[in-house]
């Protein structure tokens, strides 16, 4: 009769930690693909490069596949490992982080798609400069958020909140410039709307990064960050 010895508690715990470590590696890879999509989507938009934009759009399939793979693995962990306490928080947080990254990548694709809508027109130098900064800011915030996750460091939540202020300032600058340069030409107005939407995409990317850092704080401490009160 085959040996059906049940694994001891330490062995089960080690297996769970190994599963989470493997998924954490996948999350870091997903983050790398996401930041690449933001960078490439930004450059395509700045250069009005339709071919580069299509490459970003097509590349989203690989991101979606990895996202679903991570989700499936975590669901299996929940079903077979029955994590509790800190381990359960780690699993739930990892699922949330994966979702936030997938949504961020979708926003990068939306930036790339906007290239089609303004083609063949080029951006004015001021708008180009702001969009370039917003793309870099979104990438930086996403990387900081993933560093927080990889290092299990809740202190990055405050850093991301401060960085988010910089993105908000860039968004305001973009909108002010668009409004100041608006004209009665319908085509120009439609292009301005597309640029404004791109600005909103970057703002949402930054929000996702803040959410990741906040989830890390919950994962490590078991408490949610306290939102500042508004007078």
What the block records as the tokens of 157 is 């939540």
Distance CA 210, CA 207 (A): 5
Distance CA 138, CA 163 (A): 10
pLDDT score for 17:
87
> 117-145, pLDDT tens digit by residue?
998 888 889 999 999 999 999 999 999 99
Share of the chain above pLDDT 70, in %: 90
> 37-76, pLDDT tens digit by residue?
999 999 999 999 999 999 999 999 999 999 999 999 999 9
The conformation of residue 48, written as its DSSP 8-state character, comes to T
Q: Could you tell me which of 130, 137, 167 has the C-alpha nearest to residue 46?
A: 130
Distance CA 94, CA 96 (A): 5
This prediction's pTM = 0.89
Q: How far apart are the first and last CA of the chain?
A: 72
- Say which CATH superfamily domain 9-221 falls into: Phosphate transport system protein phou homolog 2; domain 2 (1.20.58.220)
Q: How many residues does this entry show for the chain?
A: 231
Distance CA 96, CA 108 (A): 19
Do residues 47 and 119 lie in contact, with contact meaning Cβ atoms separated by under 8 Å? Answer: no
pLDDT score for 183:
64
- Which residues does 79 contact at the CB level (< 8 Å), separation at least 6? none
Mean pLDDT of 104-119: 96
- The whole-chain average pLDDT of the chain stands at 90
SS (H, E, C) 2-19: CCCCCCCHHHHHHHHHHH
Compute CA 100 distance to the chain's CA centroid, rounded to the nearest angstrom.
Answer: 5
Do residues 56 and 41 lie in contact, with contact meaning Cβ atoms separated by under 8 Å? Answer: yes
Please give the backbone phi and psi of residue 28, each rounded to the nearest 5 degrees, phi first. -65, -40
Distance CA 159, CA 48 (A): 33
pLDDT score for 62:
97
What the block records as the tokens of 44 is 């395509």
Q: Could you tell me which of 146, 118, 127, 95 has the C-alpha nearest to residue 44?
A: 118
Q: Which pLDDT band, with edges at 50, 70 and 90, does 180 fall under?
A: confident
pLDDT score for 229:
53
Do residues 197 and 114 lie in contact, with contact meaning Cβ atoms separated by under 8 Å? Answer: yes
pLDDT score for 224:
81
Asked whether the bond before 120 is cis by omega within 30 degrees of 0, the reply is yes
């Amino acid at each position: 009769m085959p040996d059906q010895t049940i694994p001891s508690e330490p062995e089960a715990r080690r297996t769970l930690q190994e599963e989470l470590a493997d998924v954490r590696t996948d999350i870091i890879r997903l983050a790398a693909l996401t930041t690449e999509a933001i960078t490439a989507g930004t450059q395509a938009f700045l250069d009005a490069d339709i071919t580069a934009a299509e490459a970003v759009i097509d590349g989203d399939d690989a991101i979606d596949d990895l996202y679903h793979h991570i989700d499936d693995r975590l669901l299996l962990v929940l079903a077979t490992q029955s994590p509790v306490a800190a381990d359960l928080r780690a699993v739930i947080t990892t699922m949330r982080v994966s979702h936030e990254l997938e949504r961020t990548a979708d926003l990068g694709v939306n930036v790339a798609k906007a290239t089609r809508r303004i083609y063949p027109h080029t951006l004015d130098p001021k708008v180009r400069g702001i969009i370039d900064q917003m793309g870099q800011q979104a990438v930086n915030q996403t990387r900081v958020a993933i560093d927080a996750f990889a290092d299990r460091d809740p202190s990055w939540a405050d850093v991301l909140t401060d960085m988010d202020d910089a993105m908000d300032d860039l968004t305001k600058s973009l909108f002010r410039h668009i409004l100041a340069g608006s004209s009665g030409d319908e085509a120009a107005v439609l292009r301005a709307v597309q640029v404004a939407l791109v600005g909103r995409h970057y703002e949402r990317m930054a929000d996702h990064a803040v959410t990741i850092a906040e989830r890390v704080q919950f994962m490590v401490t078991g408490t949610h960050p306290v939102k500042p009160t508004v007078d």
